[in-house]
Amino acid sequence: MVFFSPVSTPVPVSEDEILAVCEAALRLAPSEWLPDLQVSNKLLGTPEWYSFEHDAWPLGESIRRAFLRYPRLKKRTSLISKIVDVATCRNLRHGRQSFIMALGFVAASQFAPKLVPFLDDSDVDGQVVYTLLKMRSPGYADAVAPLTQSNKAWIRRLAKRYMERYG
């Protein structure tokens, strides 16, 4: 069983700090798409992660925690837009997961259409469904429906929950 170490990235306290975290994450992205790494038995049959993915993930988690601690930041459309830029940077691979989850609130629902195309991206498909549910974004049942057949139980459960609410 794999356990993630506690996140020790400091929580950004201002819009400028969150923007700087987003820029740092984007700088981690390789210039081109890298292939999947070897499948790991430790990761329950999923591919290993690149070091840049491990480096990016806690950055997005720090933003999610900032939104919990400083809810007023959720109202900054330009800030949310920058987080979406990171969340949709395909070359960050799994490192985008936490940025996508950081968008899981109703005020970010106007950005749902930018996340929906990633429902077919196995690096982040479950996180996108989770975030659509948190955003309370109906209208994407056709795109979510195939994930009700996912080979990952947690993704199947989220997709079925989405379909029950909005399908």
The dihedral sign for the CA sequence 162, 164, 166, 167:
positive
How far is Cα 38 from Cα 64, in angstroms, rounded to an integer? Answer: 29
- The predicted-structure confidence for 97-120, as pLDDT tens digits, reads as follows 999 999 999 999 999 999 999 999
Angle between helices 125-135 and 153-166 (to 10 degrees): 30
The dihedral sign for the CA sequence 95, 99, 104, 110:
negative
Question: Which residues, in sequence order, are CB contacts of 131 under 8 Å at separation 6+?
Answer: 100, 101, 103, 104, 112, 115
**Nearest of 137, 133, 123, 147 to residue 46 by alpha carbon:** 123
Query: At residue 47, what are phi and psi to the nearest 5 degrees?
Result: -65, 150
Question: Which residues, in sequence order, are CB contacts of 75 under 8 Å at separation 6+?
Answer: 107
How far is Cα 40 from Cα 22, in angstroms, rounded to an integer? Answer: 29
Domain boundaries, the chain: 15-166
Stretches in the chain below the pLDDT threshold 70: 1-7, 43-44
Residue for token digits 């196995």?
A: 122
pLDDT value at residue 52: 97
pLDDT value at residue 114: 98
What is the pTM for the complete model shown?
0.93
pLDDT value at residue 43: 67
pLDDT value at residue 40: 79
Angstrom distances, CA of residue 149 to CA of 152, 156, 159 = 8, 6, 9
CATH number of 15-166: 1.25.10
